[in-house]
Structure 1
Amino acid sequence: MSLSTRVIAAVGAVVVIGAGTVGGSIAYAMGQEEPSSHRVTLTVGRSSTEVGPFCFNDGKPLTEQQQEECQNRASEALDAGKLPSSDVVASDQLGLGVTPDVADRGWWANTNGGQQAQGGRFILASAAKGSTYSGSVSASKALNASGKTLVTVVESDPKQPDAIYGVWYFQLNTQDA
């Protein structure tokens, strides 16, 4: 059985239109009219997850109240399993990438894992300005013992550390090797 050129073209058109619809639906669901230029990509091993900000104030610093509300919503989303997540094994490499708009202002990232000597946090990127990639680290260093590790990425100018412009969250789900 062979397919005609018309059938193949029609199927291709449906796939393209469907992909466009899904992309538009995601942007709409996030309350944005179009994809944001403020995106973060979490890379775990050979897979990656890219998301827009969890909390964002149209390029203006988040107020203290907005920051508190953001943390509360993130905690609820984490408890409900609604944060973007990736499965990870201790031997995986982790890395974070940000868009140039985020890199130009500055950003930092950490996990709620790591050694107690580090205060129970592991720094993935420290006050990076101009850099779009955190570099790769071994997941074993960044994971916490609970099996669910929270990754927090914050857009903030290193010269004004209290001015937070955007926040992203990811959940790492530890798997057996």
Structure 2
Amino acid sequence: MSLNARAIAAIGAVVVVGAATVGTSVAIASDQTAHISHQATLTVGNSSTVAEPLCWNNGSPITEDLQQACQDKATQALKDGSLPTSDVVSSDSVGVGVSPNVAKSGWWAFTNGGSSSSGGRTSLASYAKGPTWSGAQQANKVLNASGTTLVTVVEGDKNSDNPIAVWYFQLKTQDS
């Protein structure tokens, strides 16, 4: 028994409609009815934390005045514990991912921890344009001694003085 062109087209239409239905159902079930274009994800071991940027100027560069307000906002969020937080042990691996729109602009990520030879700042992702994942590093190399390490993700062109978006995450060191 052979399939004719009309039967093949009908099967194709059913597959397309079925895929669209499943995709829409998944979006509705996860309460995601719109594409979110600016997210960063901190991955620690087998868990991930997704966040919107703490500082964002609707896709335009963040001016110097807004950068100061952003730093003040981040300092306050750190004090009141409202930054996205992940528990970490020294044997975990730590990595950062960004959405494709962020990767298209360019991005980098770093922590305020690490060896004293790096000035206490460790790169999780050097400036990259295109890739969406930093790769994973051992936590014991990126943590600071205080038990709380700040992870900063920045979207923007490395040749510009002003970032487009900034995310902050907090790593809380747990006993191994």
Structure 2 length normalisation: TM-score? Answer: 0.81
Pairs within 5 Å for 1:38-53:
38-53=38-53
AA matched with 1:53: P
Which ranges of structure 2 fall in alignment gaps of 5 or more residues? Answer: 1-26
Rg larger for: 2
Q: Are positions 1:132 and 2:139 aligned together?
A: no
> Aligned Cα RMSD in Å?
1.7
Pairs within 5 Å for 1:1-177:
20=31, 36-160=36-160, 162-177=161-176
Structure 1 length normalisation: TM-score? Answer: 0.80
Please give the alpha-carbon distance, in whole angstroms, between the structure 2 residues aligned to 1:64 and 1:17. 39
Specify the SS of the correspondent of 1:110.
strand
Please give the alpha-carbon distance, in whole angstroms, between the structure 2 residues aligned to 1:149 and 1:68. 21
AA matched with 2:115: Q
1:125-146 CA-to-partner distances (Å, cap 9, x unmatched) read: 1111111000010000000000
Q: Is the 8 A contact 2:64 2:162 kept in 1?
A: no
Flag the 1:40–1:17 CA change in 2: closer, same or farther, 3 A.
closer
Please give the alpha-carbon distance, in whole angstroms, between the structure 2 residues aligned to 1:142 and 1:80. 23
Aligned-residue offset at 1:158: 1.9
Please give the alpha-carbon distance, in whole angstroms, between the structure 1 residues aligned to 2:104 and 2:81. 31
Aligned-residue offset at 1:163: 2.3
Residue 5 of structure 1 corresponds to which residue in structure 2? Answer: none
Please give the alpha-carbon distance, in whole angstroms, between the structure 1 residues aligned to 2:139 and 2:150. 12
Aligned structure 1 segments of 4 or more residues deviating by more than 3 angstroms: 16-19
Flag the 1:140–1:35 CA change in 2: closer, same or farther, 3 A.
same
Please give the alpha-carbon distance, in whole angstroms, between the structure 2 residues aligned to 1:131 and 1:120. 26
Aligned-residue offset at 1:112: 0.4
Specify the SS of the correspondent of 1:61.
coil
Flag the 1:76–1:18 CA change in 2: closer, same or farther, 3 A.
same
Please give the alpha-carbon distance, in whole angstroms, between the structure 1 residues aligned to 2:74 and 2:35. 21
Residue identity (%): 56
